[in-house]
Amino acid sequence: MKKSYLLPVGFKKAGLWMVVPFLVLSALCLCGSDVLVDICINATVPAVISHEGWFCMTETALIEEIAMLGLLASLAFIALSREQDEDEMTAHIRMQSFVWSTWATSIVLALGILFVYDLEFLTFMFLTMYLYLMLYIVKFNLAMYRERKEQR
Amino acid sequence: MKNTVRVERAIKDITQQDLAVAVGVSRQTINSIEAARYVPSTVLALKIARYFGKSVDDIFTLEEGD
């Protein structure tokens, strides 16, 4: 039996529900919005590496970790859940979309390395982390939509 | 790659959905195979051929450039 690394169908719906709030929260964190000051809880957490060195304790704003993890989880849920009618053609479209998204992200990354500098580069890298999954989701769903439209 | 899935289906008088269920894929996949938009895997090609009681070569044929 072939092993599937995809999540059950229901995770896609869960991801869709989660993505908007976490996208907004991440955007607010990224902009350094004042709205977050009230809910910002600083905590001391274990770190593999930080400005204090390797394997130490460091202080961080928990809301940022929650926003980033939430956004990553919701995008992964959407991208990596089975379709209702998942079969070998869907797997083929997935593979094509992954290749396309890898190329597109690499090109954006290369342009960023060449043209984005200073602290803005950190913001750019933050966005690029999620770009790969976002582009994959858009490309895959567009391809599936076209395929389903052909049937009508 | 050309195929005669549509013809074989017409001879047997079955719908795309019937064939899809019999070989364990979605109707979209059968439609895409018939329209030559998708080349099936060896396993699926064998399943389709077995369903129609023919060899894979009878249903799927290579075109120039394949």
CB contact under 8 A, B41 and A88: yes
Are A4 and A69 in a shared domain?
yes
pLDDT-based confidence at A28, cuts 50/70/90? confident
CB contact under 8 A, A150 and B38: no
Are A21 and A67 in a shared domain?
yes
Contact between A52 and A106 (Cβ < 8 Å): no
Are A59 and A25 in a shared domain?
yes
| Number of domains, chain A | 2
Contact between A150 and B32 (Cβ < 8 Å): yes
Question: Domain containing A32: what range?
Answer: 1-82
Are A47 and A63 in a shared domain?
yes
Residue A111 predicted with pLDDT over 80: yes
Are A59 and A122 in a shared domain?
no
Q: Domain boundary at A82, A108, A134, which?
A: A82
Residues with Cβ within 8 Å of A9's Cβ and at least 6 positions away in sequence, in order, are A81, A82, A83, A84
Are A36 and A88 in a shared domain?
no
For an interface test with A, the pick among B17, B26, B41 (most A C-beta atoms closer than 10 Å) comes out as B26
Contact between A3 and A21 (Cβ < 8 Å): no
Residue A38 predicted with pLDDT over 80: no
Q: Rounded CA gap, B8 and B4, in Å?
A: 6
Q: What is the mean pLDDT of residues B45-66?
A: 93
Residue B30 predicted with pLDDT over 90: yes
Are A73 and A89 in a shared domain?
no
- For domain B2-53, give its CATH number from 3.30.1330.20, 3.40.50.1360, 1.10.260.40, 3.40.50.150: 1.10.260.40
Angle at A36 between CA A32 and CA A39, to 5 degrees: 145
pLDDT-based confidence at A1, cuts 50/70/90? low
Are A66 and A107 in a shared domain?
no
ipTM for the assembly: 0.86
Are A65 and A118 in a shared domain?
no
Are A52 and A88 in a shared domain?
no
Q: Find the CB nearest A147 among B28, B40, B44.
A: B28
Q: Rounded CA gap, A117 and A149, in Å?
A: 43
DSSP per residue, B1-66: -EE-HHHHHHHHT--HHHHHHHHTS-HHHHHHHHTTS-PPPHHHHHHHHHHHTS-HHHHEE--TT-
Are A49 and A97 in a shared domain?
no
Q: Domain boundary at A27, A53, A82, which?
A: A82
Residues with Cβ within 8 Å of A111's Cβ and at least 6 positions away in sequence, in order, are none
Contact between B27 and A89 (Cβ < 8 Å): no
Are A116 and A140 in a shared domain?
yes
Q: CA-nearest residue of chain B to A148?
A: B28
